[in-house]
Structure 1
């Protein structure tokens, strides 16, 4: 059993995204554009439906369909901006966790809990200079870097265990 201390930082997330080819979030301008188009289409549809239900175009502001499209776009972008603003995650907090690598799998432990990921759950391994990234079938991941272990020999032994159990 090889033991180390993992402390992830923001660069580790970028390493994992590159290693596993996972898409990053849509840029803000792209999200706003998509929300605007979807909102305009929805607003146009609702305005057209209201006009049909009222048996003809409303005369208060003339043809209401362009106004409905505009209102739908404004509401959709506003709702999207509010949602994106609320969902913004802060930076990764450096929380140390103990990692134990053995014949059964990889055990991660913090003061609040622990998990054991047995070797059969791992579905992908990416080996790069300076790190090894492992992904499970439920999209959990473990990143192992030499800095997480007490010595270069411990890191090499951890990599041997990974290779022996997950080729």
Structure 2
């Protein structure tokens, strides 16, 4: 099966597709609640979800300015700045001089931060593998293929999702 091009998403969905979208949104909402519960429990063990998101994003971006990191994770720069300060203090991120502007600094994941991410990912992968061990291999392969496709489409469509799903701020005319 060939994946449709992202442009194919632009058409208005049919009622059956809206129903499918509702089912998927409900499933994702349930998954989100489970992930939030998981994150809350992990944070009690010293593994803060926001720290992991920042580390993974920074590792993917490479050495970056704080503002670029905030944009990449769709967050407020002041929030990211506070979170980064904690990661620097913990030795997971370091500040480096920006070769293009000596007044600015770049953030980079340290070797310790990389090891922490690798260890966390290995533990998570093993746990997920145990969870789906009873699945038929072909079913699991197909699920992973479709889920990866969904994630690409989600990332591409994320700015539109944010615009369409965010409630208007009071400053935007809501009384």
TM-score by length of 1: 0.20
**Where is the helix percentage greater, Structure 1 or Structure 2?**
2
**Where is the strand percentage greater, Structure 1 or Structure 2?**
1
Highest Rg: 1 or 2? 1
- Asked which structure has the greater RCO (Cα within 8 Å, sep 6+), the reply is 1
TM-score by length of 2: 0.19
